[in-house]
Structure 1
Amino acid sequence: MRHAHTVEQVRAAEAELMARLPEGTLMQRAAAGLAATCARLLPRVYGSRVVVLAGSGDNGGDALYAGARLARRGAAVSALLLAPERVHTGGLAALRAAGGRVTTDQGEFSRADLVLDGIVGIGGRGGLRPEAQPYAAAERRGVVVAVDVPSGVDPDSGAVPGAALRADVTVCFGTYKPGLLVDPGASYAGIVQLVDIGLALPGAGVTALQHDDLAGMLPVPTVESDKYRRGVVGVAAGSARYPGAALLAVAGALRGGAGAVRYVGTAAEEVVRRFPEVLVTEGGPAGAGRVQAWVVGPGGGDGAARALEEALASPVPVLVDADGLTELARLGPAALAGRTAPTLLTPHTGEAARLLAGATAQAPPAADELAAARLASARRLAAEYRATVLLKGSTTVVAEPTGEVRVNPTGTSWLATAGSGDVLAGLAGSLLAAGLGTLDAASAAAYLHGLGGREAAAGGGPVTALDVAARLGSAWRVVRG
Structure 2
Amino acid sequence: MISAYTGTQIRAAEEPLLAAGMGAVLMQRASYGLANAIVHELQARGRRLYGASVAVLAGKGNNGGDGLFAASFLAARGMRTTAVLTAGAAHTEALAAFQRAGGRVHFLSDANASRLAAEMARADVVIDAVLGTGAQGGLRGAAAALVASLADVRQTSGGPELMVACDIPSGVDADTGEAHAPVLSADLTVTFGAAKVGLLADPGADYAGRVHVVPIGIEAELPWPALRRLQPPDLLRLLPQPGRRAHKYSRGVLGVVAGSADYPGAAVLACRGALAAGVGMVRYLGPPEVAHLVRQSCPEVVCSAGEVADTHVQAWLVGSGMGPSDSHQLQRAHDAVESGLPVIADAGALPALPDVLGPQVVLTPHAGELAALLKRLGADYERSAVEVNTLGAVRHAAALTEATVLLKGATTLVASPFQDFYSQADGTPWLATAGSGDVLAGIIGALLAQVGPDVGRFRDAGIDPDERWAAIAAMGASLHGLAGTAAAGGGPLSAGRIAEYLPEVWSRLVTPPDV
Q: TM-score, normalised by structure 1?
A: 0.94
Contact residue 234 and residue 264 of structure 1 kept, 8 A: yes
The answer as to 2:286 corresponding to 1:265 is yes
Q: Which residue of 1 aligns with 2:372?
A: 354
Contact residue 410 and residue 425 of structure 2 kept, 8 A: no
Contact residue 326 and residue 351 of structure 1 kept, 8 A: no
Match of residue 384, structure 1, among 391, 400, 403? 400
Q: How does 1:235-314 map to 2 (within 5 A)?
A: 235-266=256-287, 267-288=290-311, 290-301=312-323, 302=326, 303-314=328-339
Compared with structure 1, are the counterparts of its residues 23 and 245 closer, same or farther at alpha carbon in structure 2 (3 Å cutoff)? Answer: closer
Give the distance between the partners of 2:34 and 2:338, measured in 1 at CA: 55
Match of residue 175, structure 2, among 156, 159, 162? 156
Contact residue 286 and residue 329 of structure 2 kept, 8 A: no
**1:325 deviation in Å?**
0.6
Q: Which amino acid aligns with 2:229?
A: A
Q: Which amino acid aligns with 1:142?
A: E
Secondary structure, counterpart of 1:356 in structure 2: helix
The answer as to 2:206 corresponding to 1:187 is yes
Q: Which residue of 2 aligns with 1:441?
A: 472
Q: How does 1:138-153 map to 2 (within 5 A)?
A: 138-139=153-154, 140-153=159-172
Give the distance between the partners of 2:509 and 2:21, measured in 1 at CA: 41
Q: CA RMSD in A?
A: 1.6
Contact residue 236 and residue 284 of structure 1 kept, 8 A: no
**1:474 deviation in Å?**
1.9
Q: Which amino acid aligns with 2:57?
A: L
Q: Which amino acid aligns with 2:316?
A: W
Q: Which amino acid aligns with 1:279?
A: V
**1:130 deviation in Å?**
2.9
Give the distance between the partners of 2:508 and 2:481, measured in 1 at CA: 12
The answer as to 2:8 corresponding to 1:29 is no
Structure 1 residue ranges without an equivalent (≥5): none
Q: Which amino acid aligns with 2:150?
A: Y
Aligned length: 469
Match of residue 126, structure 1, among 137, 149, 163? 137
Contact residue 39 and residue 45 of structure 1 kept, 8 A: yes
Contact residue 371 and residue 393 of structure 1 kept, 8 A: no
Contact residue 209 and residue 409 of structure 1 kept, 8 A: no
**1:279 deviation in Å?**
1.5
Contact residue 304 and residue 323 of structure 1 kept, 8 A: no
**1:390 deviation in Å?**
0.8
Give the distance between the partners of 2:139 and 2:184, measured in 1 at CA: 8
Contact residue 171 and residue 195 of structure 1 kept, 8 A: yes
Give the distance between the partners of 1:23 and 1:202, measured in 2 at CA: 20
Secondary structure, counterpart of 2:81 in structure 1: strand
Q: Which residue of 1 aligns with 2:96?
A: 93
Report Cα offsets for 1:149-175 as digits up to 9, x if no partner. Answer: 011211111111211011111000001
Q: Which amino acid aligns with 1:409?
A: A
Give the distance between the partners of 1:309 and 1:112, measured in 2 at CA: 60
Match of residue 428, structure 1, among 436, 444, 451? 444
Secondary structure, counterpart of 2:9 in structure 1: helix
Q: Which residue of 2 aligns with 1:372?
A: 388
Contact residue 391 and residue 398 of structure 1 kept, 8 A: yes
Percent identity (aligned): 46
Q: Which residue of 2 aligns with 1:114?
A: 125
**1:125 deviation in Å?**
2.8
Give the distance between the partners of 2:226 and 2:329, measured in 1 at CA: 34
Q: Which amino acid aligns with 2:495?
A: A
Q: Which amino acid aligns with 2:336?
A: A
**1:418 deviation in Å?**
1.3
Contact residue 207 and residue 405 of structure 1 kept, 8 A: yes
